[in-house]
Amino acid sequence: MYSEELSEQIAEPRPAPVARTIAATVATFIVPGLGHVLLGKVMRGAIIGGVIIVMFALGFAMEGHLYKPDPNEWLTWFFSFLNAGMGLPYLVLVLADWGVQITPEQAAKVTFEYGNTFLCVAGALNMLAAMDAYDIGIGRKA
């Protein structure tokens, strides 16, 4: 009986306006976590954004590199898609040609592949964060 009383008190999630939902989803690709902040989920946005940004920074600290699509190597398209999940930071770094080139010394480091993995996972998590912001915006979850 107590659970029935509590379930009546819990409010159903309400959808945000369409423009706000779209803005929140796009904002996540500009700055990780920003979409949640725009939807009023400040703590969730701070945690998500902080974790993704730290993973991205650790990927570079471990000498990882960003992928660009190479027409001769089909697998680079997959990894580029994951990296591109970071949105604006990926675009800026690729256009500036920073973090894309691989040197033999860099590839010989023990942490090289770990860094690549951290960068790919950071992009994938940011895509999931954008989908989460969208779900909150349409009222599918609180």
- The more confident residue out of 3 and 78 is 78
Which pTM was predicted?
0.87
**Those residues with Cβ within 8 angstroms of residue 59's Cβ, 6 or more apart along the chain or in another chain:** 115, 116, 117, 118, 119, 122
Closest to 125 (Cα-Cα) out of 76, 86, 75, 87? 86
Closest to 63 (Cα-Cα) out of 97, 29, 108? 108
Q: Are 133 and 127 in contact (CB under 8 A)?
A: no
Residue-wise pLDDT for 20-69, tens only, equals 999 999 999 999 999 999 999 999 999 999 999 999 999 999 999 999 99
Q: What is the mean pLDDT of the chain?
A: 92
Residue appearing with tokens 């089909």: 74
The reported pLDDT for the residue numbered 6 is 59
Q: Residue 142 — very low, low, confident or very high, per pLDDT cuts 50/70/90?
A: confident
- The more confident residue out of 93 and 4 is 93
Closest to 125 (Cα-Cα) out of 56, 52, 58? 52
Q: Residue 8 — very low, low, confident or very high, per pLDDT cuts 50/70/90?
A: low
The reported pLDDT for the residue numbered 12 is 80
